[in-house]
Amino acid sequence: MRLRTIELRTSARMEVRLITADVETALSEIGFVEGLCTILVPHTTAAISINENADPDVRLDVTRALAALVPDVPFHHAEGNADAHLLSTLIGVSLTVPYRGRLLLGRWQGIYFVELDGPRAREVQVWVP
């Protein structure tokens, strides 16, 4: 397995950032030609997702809607970021995407890094066989 790590710094507590080009650059630097790549966010208060990349308002709408999804329950987790852990679980922290010279995403799709408890320094791992 070969690995390339993308480093990024988020700028808000909740933020959805398009990282499709970063992932494609990582795959190109690895020299990957064709196959499935795995993209992992090794954090418990962040996530990764595929969604529309055409209209930036979608990313803002997703952020607002995610915040509204958090239930009004008394969390026990003393760190104060239980909402971020919950949303990370719901969204997920890894993707598997086919690649053949480029990521074989749908026309309107992009890869989103989802920050849920920023701002922080973050990593995204790109693995290939």
Tell me the C-alpha distance between 12 and 3, whole Å. 27
Tell me the C-alpha distance between 125 and 122, whole Å. 10
Instruction: Tell me the two tokens of residue 108.
Output: 């309107």
Considering the rule CB under 5 A, would residue 89 count as an interface residue with Zn ion?
A: no
Among 49, 81, 109, 125, binds Zn ion (CB under 5 A): 81
Provide the minimum distance between the beta carbon of 89 and Zn ion in the complex, in angstroms, as a whole number: 12
Of 5-13, 20-28, 63-71, 73-81, the segment contacting Zn ion by CB under 5 A is 73-81
Alpha helices in 72-111 (DSSP H): 82-91
Nearer to Zn ion by Cβ, of 89 and 96: the residue is 89
Q: In this chain, which residue has its C-beta nearest to Zn ion?
A: 79
Considering the rule CB under 5 A, would residue 79 count as an interface residue with Zn ion?
A: yes
Of 13-21, 22-30, 72-80, 89-97, the segment contacting Zn ion by CB under 5 A is 72-80
Q: How many angstroms separate the Cα of 37 from the Cα of each of 12, 26, 42, 59?
A: 28, 11, 16, 24
The answer to whether 10 and 71 have CB atoms below 8 angstroms apart is no
Residues lying near Zn ion in the complex (CB under 5 A): 79, 81
